[in-house]
Structures are given as C-alpha cells and as structure tokens.
Amino acid sequence: MVWNILEALALLAICAGGYLIFGPWALIAWGVLVIVLSLVVNRKGGSA
C-alpha cells in the first residue's frame, strides 16, 4: 500500500516536472504513454 502511494507521488512529480519543462505537450505524451502501457499490461495479463 505504501509503495503504491510512493509510486503515485513519484509519477505525479515526474509529470509535474515534465509539464514545467516541456509544457502541455508533456501531458499529451504522458497520457499516450500511460494508455499504451496499460494496454500492454492488460494484454499480457489476459494472455497469461
């Protein structure tokens, strides 16, 4: 549980940092990356 919270905070920090550095494009790229990763994980979990 604690690790999940820490991971979520770390991801938020990375996302916020990317937004400050790269602007709105970072959020778009981040969203696409998260969607792709979730699809890959779901596909692997389903096949296994």
Q: Which of 44, 22, 3, 47 is nearest to 14 (CA)?
A: 22
Q: Which of 20, 48, 15 is nearest to 32 (CA)?
A: 15
Q: Look up residue 7 and give its two tokens.
A: 């991971």
Q: Residue 47: its pLDDT value, please?
A: 57
Domain total of the chain: 1
18 lies in which domain range? 2-47
Dump pLDDT digits (tens) for 1-48. 677 888 888 888 887 887 788 788 877 888 898 899 888 888 876 655
